[in-house]
Amino acid sequence: MLMLLNTPYALSLSRSLASSSFPSPPTRRLLSISSTFALPPPRFPHSSLVSSRVSPSFRTQASAATSTMGDAPDVGMDAVQRRLMFEDECILVDESDNVVGHESKYNCHLWEKILTGKMLHRAFSVFLFNTKYELLLQQRSATKVTFPLVWTNTCCSHPLYRESELISENHLGVRNAAQRKLLDELGIPAEDVPVDQFVPLSRMLYKAPSDGKWGEHELDYLLFIVRDVNVHPNPDEVAEAKYVNRDQLKELLRKADAGEDGLKLSPWFRLVVDNFLFKWWDHVEKGTLKEVSDMETIHKL
């Protein structure tokens, strides 16, 4: 027991101690991962049964109190997705794919703005096959603003309004963007997917709502590539990734159509599946993809 005598010094010390505040020790945050991969994630080009799952505990969370964007719209949005929505500038195009301007990813995906007809923007969809001719699919993260937790093709995103991704010659800008996003979303190193290995097969124009607030209106470049790659999914972008063969994809389609297990497919992926994918898959296996490339046509679906 500590006793203080009733002296001027003791009283002064007592008042000083009573008015002092001591910081609490910092709280240590623990991260965990749930994955069918052993760590570090292995190379998995040769099995249709391999999948990668990521735990939501890895996802960065944001709050209005700590946001650097103050009172900007949608302060409750996941921090990573919010940054991308406000900082990324999409390439606005007309229906002939001529560049007409640029706009934030946020505005490009607001359904009320899409309905004005002024938010059509350039996009790409990558279909990556391993050397067993299995297609790599991903399930979008739960924190994605548009189409969360839907299954889709390997990678779907946008070239940005920047010099390296505006190059029109040989569609190099879109290829550069595809290489960038495969790294961002799936951790696939650039050396695994050289830009000259992407085969642009066609373009399609489509519009699709996500929910009452968000949607898509895109002129989408369809890029195919056959490579064995290292995959390390980014949990802010991808909930799960797996290879499928034709029969396994058909089973996914059946489940989606039947509403089993809450399984949903992205609208752009379903358009490609229904109109192109299986006939192009034949050319993937034959090594004749370039024979069916048609970049002059823009399919309005």
- Name the average pLDDT for the chain: 81
Domain boundaries, the chain: 79-300
What values do phi and psi take at 84, rounded to 5?
-65, -40
The pLDDT value given to residue 74? 65
Cβ–Cβ < 8 Å for 221, 171: yes
CB 130 within 8 A of CB 243: yes
Averaged pLDDT, 30-57? 37
The answer to whether the CB of 151 falls within 8 A of the CB of 263 is yes
Provide the pLDDT for residue 59: 38
Distance CA 125, CA 270 (A): 12
Alpha-carbon distance of 197 to 289, in angstroms, equals 11
Give mean pLDDT, residues 174-181: 98
Check whether 49 has a pLDDT greater than 80: no
Given a cut of 50, whether residue 208 has pLDDT beyond it is yes
List helix spans (H) across the chain: 8-19, 79-87, 105-108, 111-114, 172-186, 246-258, 267-272, 278-286
For residue range 87-131, list pLDDT tens digits in order.
Answer: 899 999 999 999 999 999 999 999 999 999 999 999 999 999 999
Is 108 marked active-site? no
Annotated catalytic residue, options 90, 108, 155, 156: 156
Question: pLDDT at residue 39 above 70?
Answer: no
The predicted pLDDT at position 226 comes to 98
For residue range 220-261, list pLDDT tens digits in order: 999 999 999 999 999 999 999 999 999 999 999 999 999 999
- Supply the pLDDT for residue 183: 98
* 260 vs 19 pLDDT, higher one: 260
Topology (CATH level 3) of domain 79-300: Nucleoside Triphosphate Pyrophosphohydrolase (3.90.79)
Task: Give the CA dihedral 33, 36, 37, 38, nearest 10 degrees.
Answer: 80
For 71-80, 148-157, 176-185, which range has the lowest pLDDT when averaged over its residues? 71-80
pLDDT in tens, 53-84: 443 433 333 333 333 333 455 655 777 777 77
215-226 and 121-129 strand pairing: parallel
pLDDT at 36: 35
Catalytic residue, chosen from 216, 218, 237, 240, is 218
Who has greater pLDDT, 59 or 155?
Answer: 155
> Which pLDDT score is estimated for 78?
74
Fill in the DSSP letter of residue 41. P
| pLDDT number for residue 91 | 98
Residue 218 annotated to the active site: yes
**What pLDDT score was predicted for residue 112?**
95
N-term to C-term CA, the chain:
81
pTM: 0.76
* Higher-pLDDT residue of 10, 135: 135
